[in-house]
Amino acid sequence: MALFLLTLKAAGFGLAVAAPVGPMSLLCMRRTLALGWRPGMATGLGIATGDGLYAAVAALGLAGVSSFLFAHERPLHIAAGLLLLWLGAKMARMEEQAGPAKTVRDASWPAAFAGAVALTLTNPPTIITFAAIFTALAPPSGFDAAVAAATVGGVFGGSLLWWCGIVGAVSLFRHAMGPRTRRWIDRAAGLALAAFGLVELRRGL
């Protein structure tokens, strides 16, 4: 029962970490809207996986991994900035596709998953967030393997729950929007992602 309650608490924290609107939220929503629920869900699963990996580093106290990531924080921010700029430019000029072409694009969900994991992992300070969360959640006896697994699993589950909700909500409205509306959403999302990319570049330079 104690592990179950700990998992629920960790899930709440995982949901809270995922909830703020940022570049990953825009990316997930836009892929769901333009490409369908599979790429959108793959993106959300990739983000949750990245959060889970950072949570595992914090819970297990992998100092070597943390030190390596923080030592390369600036190049990671630059990489994230360049990737966000590229995604933003791609979105802003993408034309609406339909028919067989849309089916081909729906099949790219493994790439959407891998890209979301990589982009999520370009933010090493996330480890600090999870370290603070786990300090608050730590039982008096400290973290053993079972407690660490329950906590990391809860964070992953809470984050994934948020992205399932986002994908489900966007999917409900997807078919109610015409090509013109989707085109303007693409432009707005592209500009927003490019702005986030510039912020990341500034952090890295």
Each residue's pLDDT tens digit, 142-154: 667 787 888 889 9
Indicate the pTM of the whole model: 0.78
**Confidence (pLDDT) at 117:** 92
Which comes out higher in pLDDT, residue 117 or 67?
Answer: 117
Kindly report the average pLDDT of the chain as a whole number. 79
> In whole angstroms, what is the distance from residue 143 CA to residue 16 CA?
22
Confidence of residue 140 (pLDDT cuts 50, 70, 90): low
One-letter amino acid of 133: I
**Confidence (pLDDT) at 119:** 87
In 3D space, the residue among 200, 191, 52 whose CA is nearest the CA of residue 116 turns out to be 52
Confidence of residue 172 (pLDDT cuts 50, 70, 90): confident
Confidence of residue 166 (pLDDT cuts 50, 70, 90): very high
200 touches 78 (CB < 8 A): yes
**Residues near 130 by Cβ (< 8 Å), separated by ≥ 6?**
17, 51, 54, 55, 57, 58, 59, 155
User: Quick one: how far is CA 200 from the chain centroid?
Assistant: 15
> In whole angstroms, what is the distance from residue 128 CA to residue 111 CA?
28
Q: Which two tokens stand for residue 134?
A: 């786990």
In 3D space, the residue among 20, 19, 13 whose CA is nearest the CA of residue 133 turns out to be 13
Q: Could you tell me the residue range of the domain that residue 160 belongs to?
A: 2-204
Q: What is the pLDDT of residues 58-106, one digit of tens each?
A: 877 765 556 666 666 788 778 877 887 877 777 766 654 444 444 444 4
**Confidence (pLDDT) at 63:** 57
**Confidence (pLDDT) at 192:** 80
How many structural domains does the chain have?
1
> In whole angstroms, what is the distance from residue 39 CA to residue 47 CA?
12
HSE-up of 197 (CA within 13 Å, CB side)?
A: 19
